[in-house]
Amino acid sequence: MRFYFPDSQDLVSPTYDFANDEYSPFRVRQRDDRYAHEVVPAPYDGILVSKAIVDGSLKGAGKYSTPQRERLYRLGVRSFFRLPEGVASIGDCGAFNYADEYEPPYSVEEVLDFYEGCGFDSGVSVDHIIFGYAPDASEDDVDSAWAERRKISLRLAKQFFAAVDTRGARLEPVGAAQGWSPASYANSVAQLQEMGYRRIALGGMVPLKTPEILACLQAIDEVRITGTELHLLGITRVQSMAKFALHGVTSFDSTSPFRQAFMDDRDNYHTQQSTYTAIRVPQVDGNPTLKRRILAGEVSQSKAIAAERECLKRLRGFDHGTVPAAEALDVLGDYESLVNAGVAKKSYMPAYERTLADSPWRDCPCALCRQHGIEMVIFRGSERNKRRGFHNLTVLEAKMQALSAG
């Protein structure tokens, strides 16, 4: 089972000063900052890059600046990302970014230009995502927009495969299958195989529950040719991957473990056995609510800054064995109360107590946890949060290896 990490230009600065929360004055982001595979042994088998992220879509600009975009086209995907040997690349259109449009905003030729121009190993055909699941609905019964989107995806997949062949493009064509039910997904896969595809990406499954995904895979089994490989777009269900593999799934992609580091309410730091809540120590000058209250005279700025610094001091002291957990928790509780005063928010203190009691970073073998210690579980700014996301990717990679070994 191969895991692809979707790119969104997530890097960290190796020279970031955690003690003073500042970057080196000599830092040049693209030259000096590092991708996940440059700070820990590659925690994925490949990267996925979407055209919508690079070039933008009808919604607006992508995540890349003009200089970054030009560098990607000039250097190619391997040199731009400084990919180590063995890490593959796959391109797609980024259908989520234009899901509200009547048709995809890119032509087959434009997408193939992107794939060839960047030198991807594989490229997914142009598709149009279907947001909905109606397991028993036929094409005549289902929402007409769903049926039309599946037709569009199949029509463009046929054109894409032909264009790859006509150009003699040196990339693996991956057919995108859309559907709203087990039967419609199976029919899409059957048609893609007739076109010549032997690797097929299943899209639109992110909202589905695991039993629903399995039902679709079981229906696909009825038509899947031996040797046809399936890729799950946007799916991370580690505990179900062994079951998925029995139905021809050989790869998947997802940002979920990374994003949970700073987007999830509780499950921020992952281990093989559990998840932990990261300790929130917001920066006084970076918290909009707190800044407004300071400007309104409701909170003393000097008191808030002192409390913030004391939290960091006590947490680092705890990590060094000079401050008891109870003392660190006391100042965390005071700062949380100050930040949340007058705001109806739940307390994270019980979760913090568990995080400090178990101190999971101390047992983690990854290079980031060994280097940064407790900073890895402090929820504060992108440098810590992204490093925690990279750590989570190493945990996912270890879980996948364990599944493969089992």
Q: Which residues are designated catalytic?
A: 92, 253
For residue 400, give both structure tokens. Answer: 């996948």
> Pairing mode, if any, of strands 269-270 and 275-276?
antiparallel
Specify which residues 231 forms β-bridges with: 201, 251
Q: Which of 117, 112, 225, 123 is nearest to 174 (CA)?
A: 123
Q: Half-sphere exposure of residue 336, counting CA atoms within 13 Å on the CB side?
A: 18
**122 - beta bridge partners?**
90, 172
Tokens in use for 379?
A: 């929820």
* 3-class SS string, the chain: CEEEEECCCCCECCCCECCCCECCCCCCHHHHCECHHHHCCCCCCEEEEEHHHHHCECCECCCCCHHHHHHHHHHCHHHHHCCCCCCEEEEECCHHHHCCCCCCCCCHHHHHHHHHHHCCCEEECCCCCCCCCCCCCCCCCCCHHHHHHHHHHHHHHHHHHHHHHHHCCCCEEEEEECCCCHHHHHHHHHHHHHHCCCEEEECCCCCCCHHHHHHHHHHHHCCCCCCCEEEEECCCCHHHHHHHHCCCEEEEECCHHHHHHHHCCCCCEECCCCEECCEECCCHHHCHHHHHHHHCCCCCHHHHHHHHHHHHHHHHHHHHCCCCHHHHHHHHHHHHHHHHCCCCCCCCHHHHHHHHHHCHHHHCCCHHHHHHHHHHHEECHHHHHHHHHHHHHHHHHHHHHHHHHC
Rounded to an integer, what is the distance from CA 84 to the centroid of its chain?
Answer: 20
Q: What is the distance between the alpha carbons of residues 200 and 194, in angstroms, rounded to a whole number?
A: 12
